[in-house]
Amino acid sequence: MRIIDTPSPNWDERSLPISMIVLHYTGMQDAEGAIARLRDPEAKVSCHYLVAEDGTVLRMVDEAKRAWHAGRSHWREVEDVNSASIGIEIVNPGHDWGYRPFPDEQMDAVIALVAQIKDRHEITRGNVVGHSDIAPARKRDPGELFPWHRLARLRLALPRPTKGLMDPNWTEAGFCLALERFGYDVTDRMAAIMAFQRRFRPELIDGEIDAECRMILLALLLPKPQGDA
C-alpha cells in the first residue's frame, strides 16, 4: 500500500497504550477542504490517516503520537479515546453535504489499512469502532452506509449476529444497562440506541428498542468461543 506523508501539526503525546481504531467520515464538501482543515493549526483537529475516494492513503500524524479526532468520547473503560486510538478519516461529504456510498477502491484501502494497524497493535475486533459509537450524542459518522460487514468478514470488526438469536425481553433500563456493558455511553439513551442501530441494524434507525435490537445486543454480549470481543 502506498502511503503519502501529509503531516498535520495537530497532535501531542499519548497517555495510554493503543487499543482502538476509530473510523470517521470527513463530512466536508470535498477532500481538499477536509485535508486543509486537518492540517490547520487553528482548527485543532487531525487524524492518523485519511483515505480518499480513489483509495489514496495520507499519513497525517505518526501512530506513536496522539491525534485529535475523537473529541469528548467514551468506549468501554476508555475516556481519553484520542490517547488510546488510531483515527482514520474516510473522505465522504457525510449527512450534511450529500451522504453517499463509499466506493470500492476506497473501501479496499480502508480494509488494508485497518488490517495492518489491527495486526500491528493487536487490537480486538470489538475495539474497531465508528465515531458515532464513542460519541453517540454528537456524531453520526461513518454512518449507516459504511459497509461494516466487509470488515467483519475479514475479522476486522464485530459481525452483526445472525445465528441462534433469542429475545431476552429486557426492559428499556435493562437494554441500556446491557448497551453500557457492551461499551456505549448511555447518558443520552436515545442517542445511544440510535448509534447501536446505525452500527448493527442500519436498515432501521429509529431510536426504538425492539426485539431485534435486544436479540442482536444479547448475542454480542455472549462470550465468543474465539475470545477477541
Measured CA to CA, the distance from residue 131 to residue 24 in angstroms comes to: 6
d(C-alpha 108, C-alpha 189), whole Å: 34
Q: Which of 89, 122, 172, 212 is catalytic?
A: 89
Task: Provide DSSP, 82-109.
Answer: HHHEEEEEE---HHHH---PPPHHHHHH
If one asks whether residue 140 binds Zn ion (CB under 5 A), the answer comes out as no
CB of 144 to Zn ion, least distance (A): 14
Distance (Å, rounded) from C-alpha 88 to C-alpha 84?
13
Phi-psi region of 198 (alpha: psi -120 to 50; beta: other; left: phi over 0): alpha
| Residues 110, 132 contacting (CB under 8 angstroms) | no
Among 61, 84, 109, 141, binds Zn ion (CB under 5 A): 141
For residue 130, CA distances in Å to 45, 117, 161 come to 17, 15, 18
Nearer to Zn ion, 127 or 215 (CB): 127
Closest distance to Zn ion from the beta carbon of 141 (Å): 4
198 is a site residue for Zn ion (CB under 5 A): no
* Residue nearer to Zn ion on the CB measure, 47 or 215: 47
Pairwise CA distance, residues 31 & 28, whole Å: 7
Which of 100, 153 has the CB closer to Zn ion? 100
Say whether residue 214 binds Zn ion (CB under 5 A): no
The answer to whether 53 is a known catalytic residue is no
Pick out residues in 19-58 that bind Zn ion (CB under 5 A): 24
Find out whether 45 and 66 touch, Cβ atoms under 8 Å.
no
Interacting stretch for Zn ion, rule CB under 5 A, among 4-12, 58-66, 125-133, 186-194?
Answer: 125-133
Among 131, 198, 201, 214, binds Zn ion (CB under 5 A): 131
Q: Which stretch binds Zn ion (CB under 5 A): 39-47, 128-136, 158-166, 198-206?
A: 128-136
Sites of contact with Zn ion (CB under 5 A): 24, 131, 141
Active site residues: 89
